[in-house]
Structure 1
Amino acid sequence: MARRGGRATSYYATETRLNPINSFLCVVISFLCVVPVIADAGLYSASDQIIVLSPDNVDSVLFSSSAALLVEFYATWCGHCVAFSTVWKSLARDIKEWKPAVDLAAIDCADEKNRPVCIRFGITGYPSLKFFPAYSSNTTQGREFQGFPRDVRGLRHHIIDKLEMRDQMWPPACPPLEAASEAEIDSFFQTNSVKHLALVFEKKNSYVGREVTLDLLQYENIAVRRVLDTETSLVSRFNVTDFPSCYLYNSSGSISRLKVLNEARVFYSYALQRLPGVVRTGKMKTPIIDLIKNSTEEEWRPFNKTRVYMSDLESALHYSLRVELAAHVTITGADLTALKKYINVLATYFSGRPSVKSALKAVDSWLQEQEGTEIKYSDFRDVLDSVGETSDAVLPEGVQWVGCQGSQARYRGYPCSVWNLFHVLTVQAKEIDDSDPLEVLQAMRGYVKSFFGCRPCATHFESMAQENMNKVTSLSDAVLWLWSQHNRVNNRLAGDLSEDPHFPKIQWPPPELCPNCHSVKWTGEHSWNREEVSAFLQNYFSSDRILSDYLQDETQALIHQRNQLTATRMEKEAGRGAERRARDIHPASLTEEPQGEEQEEEEEEEEPALEEQAGEQYPVRMEGIGGDGKGRTPNREPWEKPQGEQKREQSPRKLRIVGLKLQKTQEDIVDLDSFVNQHYKAKARSAASMSSVVRQRSLQKQDDTEDFQFERGWRVKRDLGSQEQKLGVGVRIEPYPRPQNKHWMSLLSVGFSRLDASLCVLLYLLSSMCLLAMYLYFQLRVKLRHAKVSLP
């Protein structure tokens, strides 16, 4: 459940104003675009486990097929067809295990492109059902069901009657449905290599034995045979007293009665499918003990199958908020609204540890304060990971599946934990009992639609929500709605490649977990006791029963998160330092500022920055240092600019050249390694290249700024000491001087401003011109004197 429901995302929110005519045209065009999609969808889709027929696939599906087909011809405008569609979908789910022998299909005759197909098969009324035996020829019209029943049980019996007709080809995958004799039972293990033989004793007019036989059609190491009560020798041999009843018979001759909650089809099928050694065809079931010994797989964690684990829930939160949401660089519009609702529901109803709940509430508060129509995921992630800096709130990183672990890494895991998380939220909302019944369900729906990575799963969930979520009127209905949809998904995915052979998709809760949740109708059909199911769900997903085994320690998680955050920030600062050094090596690549900032640059020329003083250190400030809790002290430090300039500098400033030195907005994060290297390298270069005149100038300036440096250095050490105590993670931070830029002006002038350098150059030029003039003057005088002496 990483596109966003087919919607393109934009990095920028754009406001567009349409006049009434444009708005009307947009609505008309949208309607014309949507209508064909609705018409193509009809009443059924592939997710209903029904084959949707069209002129392109009708021949390949109906003819020369190894399985029999039962086809419904319907019209979308037909009210009876719409009412019958729920029965047809329920039948498809009920006989899903019969697919190798018989399958269901449907075609919409109201669609003009399907009309030739419906005319070809002589359809004149709706709904109409036709049965196509296995390997039907393309000339057959199918056998029409006359007066077919409108319930699942009656239709199921009609299908069995059609399969048993002798004048048609028997589906190769269909097992024998006729009653077995004593001779066949005695010789069964001589001709079949199965582990278990299940004998269903029943009366002649009963369909239980044949239904169970087809239910086990896709399972290996087991066979089912029907035995009538007229087989007196077998009845007395097995001591059968109840009809129907099921007995297990193996090759060694041992006989035992199958213990079930009720003598009915669904209980027989469920118990037989879970016998030792019985697996679905194509799925080999490796013993759990072998998985534990397998060192190549993740370590197996023993767990209680009847309980929910907090480790699964926290792992679901981590994967949801740090992995799944990370696929969206920006979150806008309806997706942002869905995220806000989802986080708000988590912060309100998640029954986890106090540190996790505090983290969710902090993120929810930040998210609700965002008034724009777009946020960046990077900002969301920064808030989620930094909540532990100012409090003990933390959401542990990483996943550690316990109750949701699979026999292999590709099984279960995140989808299982998401279902558990949703169930816990609905139950917790009912316990609080003061919220909108649809609040939690709508938040789930929005998250799944916008962010869940499995897009087909998101589509299926949305279709289920559109179908009947609006019928939820109470908090108990919300709990039961989610449970029923979960069972629908289990039914759809049973036998799928994603099914774990150790944890098959079943209708939950099973009889052994909640016997009172199951009951049998007078017709022998299974039914759910919804009141018992509701009570079971409230107890099973209650916050008091969630196990805290295998949880990561909160203190360790907090320390790990703070260390990781500090390391991340230092890494970013190191990257910025590398960029600065690269720009220093190639100063020609820098460009001057636009005209709008010339005035500000001139002001900076008149008052050179303190860090331009030769050999002077500058104070290091980090986040969290200061008395106001925001990284700054209430009283302005000597090196800070007035508040008016601070407000002007809140937006990022472009790089500029001031005093021939690269200036950049002062960072709040310390690059320790860069500072150490630059500090000592600058000292070495200064000692090697300074002239005596420059040294005298430096000493004079040092006398002027000695008191100020002492006071500022003391303050820096004080602030860094408090920050070291606050981190408490063994990190030692010392103040270092600002790295000196590698410009030729720094080497020659030792901190001269651009004005000083310009005056020096000007004076040098003037003195040179004066010397040249004096030289020319004396040369001319010498020539004139020689000329006078040579006169007679």
Structure 2
Amino acid sequence: MKRLLLLLLYIIILNDQVKSAVISDNGDVDEQGLYSKSDHVIILTRKNFDRRVYGQKHSLLVEFYNSYCGHCRAFAPKFKSFAADIVSWKNVIQLAVIDCSVDENNEICRQFEIMAYPSFRYLHENYVKGNANVGERFESTDSAEKLKSQLIVKLQSEQSMGRLAFAPPLGIASYATYASALSDVPNDVIYTFLVFENANSTIGSELALDISSYKKVTVKRVFDNCELANIAGVTHFPGLVAVRATLEPTPLTPKLPTKLNLLKAINTFLRSKNYAFPVSDIDIKDNNLYSNSEEKLKLSNSDVVYYSDLEKTLKTIFHTEITRHKTLKAEELQALLNFLDILLVAFPFKGNLKSYTEDLAKTLRTKSEWGGSEVYDLVKRLENTHAPVYSTDLDYIGCKGSQSKYRGYTCGLWTLFHTLTVNAANKPGVQGPKVLTAMHGYVKYFFGCTECAEHFQAMATRNRLFNVKENDKAILWLWISHNEVNLRLAGDLTEDPEHPKIQYPSTLKCPECRLSRGAWNLPAVYEYLQRVYGADNIQDGQRIARSSASAVSPFSDLDIGMLSLLYLLSFTILILVVKFFISKRFHRKRHYKHGWAKN
């Protein structure tokens, strides 16, 4: 009996542990795409978007990005640095991110009319959901400092219009005396730091936001050409003067008055006055997004095309890329139809994917204009009609990066295009140039990396894509262009360190592709491309993908079977124990009843 009770207690504890491990289904995630929670950004998803965006007491700056966009990948470290830099502004403004390459987020990105990545939208406090409420567009920039300046100017403007009443004062004014400068400062403020600068400077506002969590301390911006500047004796700008509530001034302007030096001067002054700084509730750590101990699938032969890579790329195209337009018509719709047509000609279909693609192309031709949500619903409906559409495990194998932020879809897209040019050349007629034309239209209107698409279009013009008229030249045109991109991106932040961008094929993979002095042997290159991307040489990859999954899974099939058996056994024992206690209690009740009767 004692053992049964201990077993029951163990089952209850185990059950509580299982419950505590379940993640609440509120849409909040610790990591998605290029960002994790440790990056000091709010990770938005379809499930938490409304809850985390609308009706907030603070403003939001949201980055809409695409995790396979090279520009987004290059900008992500800068945005993370920016987020860490303005952690102290969190009561006024917070940064959020949403990955538009994630299938379930696609509708939100479409509603906000996101047509370029990354895109930034400012949403003021107490923002209300509505069809026309898509935030205020920020200029796309490759610099975190420029983005910060843009944001500060916006916050200044917002406050001048009556919003951000809870934020520190960000406006600038002229004063004749210290008394007039401190006339509207709350009575509990001990120190006011006057920043003398011109109207276009953002340093004073940035300092005000930086120390907004400091108690009984405030910052005020003062015109550098006003009378008080002369009284304070400020000659270097931006200038800094600390003023006690008793109007006693202390000049603090450093020799090099940068924002960091001004902030250092403020903190040094406060420290000398034994000021009690607020305890930060943010623990900034050097967290890696990805565990180095995670096992990665290593392939000895990188020059292999896997069908799983092609299918996963197509699924991303159908679910994410072609549905991101709010409306699809005219040139965009025709570009999509051209792309679907060339897929039907040259893609090495398996299973139901071909009939699905045929049905998709046929249905899209029934209307001259489609809404993005309509296209998405059509894609999902036809997937159900033709299920199963995909025959593989839908994970990248040949295109798998050393970390999830590398390679993946962009590698898959190049692989798809090479596969189409090679297999189109093996069809009757001259289909290869049609692949290049369809590919150009797809990249122009649908590829999620805007900067990459612009580079490709410029390269297509420079390399005379539309002048290609023969199948073999189409294959070689794409190969030359791919190597040109590799040359441009070699050493870039987006490059996977375990998969460096080389001029391919390497001499190791194709020694006959190079002549004695290093020049390309084009006939050998052509044969190499036919060999790698030809339909008959594409590997299934399902067995390899499953082996990889088994390698990283904490449980084997046997483990799962044993756990299921243990759970069933535990449940059975629990039922028996409960039944035992109920019957025993019932038996005791009957015994006591007869005993009282005898008395």
Which structure's relative contact order is higher, taking Cα pairs within 8 Å and 6+ residues apart? 2
Normalised-by-shorter TM-score class? 0.3 to 0.5
Determine which structure has more spread, i.e. the larger CA radius of gyration. 1
Superposition TM-score, scaled by structure 2 size = 0.41
Superposition TM-score, scaled by structure 1 size = 0.31
